[in-house]
Amino acid sequence: MTVRDGLIGVVCLAGVALLAGLPFVVADYGLSLAINIMSYTVLATAWSLFSGPTRYVSLATVAFFGIGAYTTAVFVEALAWPLVLLIAMAVGSVVASLVGLATLRLSGVYFVIFSFGLAELVRQLVTWFEVNKTRTLGRYVFADITAAQIYWQLLALAVLVFAIGFLIGRSRLGLALRAIGDDETVARHSGIDVTRAKVALFVLSTVFMTLTGAIMAPRWTYIDPAIAFNPVVSFTVLIMALLGGVHRLYGPVLGVVPLALLFEYLLARFPNHFSIMVGLVFIVIVYLIPRGVVGLVEDTVRQRTAAKGAA
Amino acid sequence: MSRTLLEIDGLTRRFGGLVAVDALGFTVAEHEIVGLLGPNGSGKTTVLNLLSGVLRPDAGRIAFRGHAIAGLPAHRIARLGMARTFQLVRPLASLSCHDNVRTGLAFGRRRAWGAAADAEAGRLLDRVGLGGVRGSLPGELTYIDQKRLELARALALQPDLLLLDEWLAGLNPTELDAGIELVRSLNGQGITILLVEHVMDAIRSLCHRCVVMNAGRLIAAGLPAEVLADREVVRAYLGEDDNDRGGGHA
């Protein structure tokens, strides 16, 4: 470990400590905004953990987020909280493994469509079950959990997703995924079990989404399938990750913070035109900064260096 | 005669109505350099794709080191010790040269990782003449160097059998001599080589034996000089103009 690595480690620890102290200094509105940003940080970072290197664009984020939320809604009153989270992890992993094995042989656009369809399918299944079996569409989520506790759990999850992302980047799996992203055929011919690597990462990435949903559920008090499986969540996560940049671990968070603040502002200022505004933001981002903020900065730096070298 | 490394029997692959490879059979012995020849569209690259696991055969048997590998996924075949290069170079574009080679080391037979893999990747890059560009991205290399890089990545699998798909095509005379020398030295190290090639000088100087395909079928097999003089091969492969010259070498 070099001095630089050590320094980065110290800065990260200090940052986490500062963030952990946030609930003591901000009021309710500030905390709810922080929870929002923290949950999208986990979702977008987890999303790009899989979609960044493999370049599979997944719109299934909310499928797993919703599964987590429903797990909480069903079990929170009967079981201890850690057990609820464990069940959410288990259910999410099983669904992700099945979906991964079935779909990760699909390429590009087919996977996008499938992942979007998956979220709808799960939503329809839950709706069908609630209407026909429990005979009530919505559920109340009464949990003895404060907003600050939710925030701290999300912070812990964020630390975990960054730590795992960092470790993957230095592991064989990380190298395998970069190879797969570049050229799947070549990756196979280098001895990489492409399907296994993709499924493993897909499951890992979706576990974080499921946990985020499970942790966030008590925030709503009342959920129904339209709330828990709202497709806007998937699109928001996608655009946040793209704005930040998916080829660096810290990229997505650079998209999450400005967009979460922007959406907050738009929602307060133009509640009736929110969707149109969000659509415009999507277009502008994809058109103007296709490689994200990180890519933009790196390209600028490279050009500067090249210009200096030429001069 | 040394032991058989690769045995192909009745290999067939269709694309719709077209039979790209039609009941093909030949063998490659250990330590041989065998040329797989034939005019464009005769099915050579399809054969390599069937061997390396890109495509599944419709019928036929492929035995490699005694394992039946027909239809196995490519990564399992690679781990058994068969490596290949591609007709159009396919370096991993976002990975440095060093990481390109490390990929083969990490997932091939050796499962090498860490400092040992780093050292070995350096050795392999030196071996193909790319010692000076470890940190470069493949896009910054010349075409010949990209080909060298692809070869180093293939060698990282520590293969018994190396499939070269027109690896010597597009080189200038100096590069060609160096390329031929490199292939020969790999063979000298004990790697068996099956190469698809159009460069006649390379075939004559490198190959111990040649098999010739036309329209998916085997039309000749034997010593390079013999098969290149074969009347049917000349007609199918070299064209009428080359008839006299081909005969003159026999």
Domain ranges of chain B: 4-81+159-249, 90-157
Min Cα–Cα distance to chain B from A170, Å? 10
In this model, does residue B248 exceed pLDDT 50? no
CATH number of A3-310: 1.10.3470
Q: B98 touching A, CB under 8 A?
A: no
What pLDDT score does B162 carry? 96
Contact B127, B155 (CB under 8 A): yes
What is the rounded CA–CA span in Å between residue B149 and residue B197? Answer: 19
Is B83 close to A188, i.e. CB distance below 8 A? no
B residues 182-241 lying closer than 8 A (beta carbon) to A: none
Q: Which of the listed CATH numbers 3.40.50.300, 1.10.287.810, 3.30.300.90, 3.30.565.10 matches domain B4-81+159-249?
A: 3.40.50.300
A residues 127-166 lying closer than 8 A (beta carbon) to B: none
Complex ipTM more than 0.90, yes or no: no
What pLDDT score does A248 carry? 85
Tens of pLDDT, residues B80-125: 999 999 988 999 999 999 999 999 999 988 888 888 999 999 999 9
In this model, does residue B244 exceed pLDDT 70? no
In this model, does residue B74 exceed pLDDT 90? yes
What is the rounded CA–CA span in Å between residue B127 and residue B104? Answer: 15
In this model, does residue B144 exceed pLDDT 50? yes
Residues in chain B, total = 250
Mean pLDDT of chain A: 90
Q: Mutation test of the interface with chain B: which of A167, A189, A248, choosing the one with the most B Cβ atoms within 10 A?
A: A189
In this model, does residue B247 exceed pLDDT 50? no
Out of A181, A183, A191, closest to residue B75 by CB: A191
Domain ranges of chain A: 3-310
Contact B195, B33 (CB under 8 A): yes
Q: Kindly report the CA angle at B111 between B106 and B112, in degrees rounded to 5?
A: 70
Counting Cβ atoms within 10 Å, is residue A6 exposed (0-12), middle (13-18) or buried (19+)?
Answer: exposed
CB neighbours of residue A189 within 10 Å:
30
Amino acid identity at A173: L
- Written as six digits, the tokens of A109 are 């656009």
Contact B80, B67 (CB under 8 A): yes
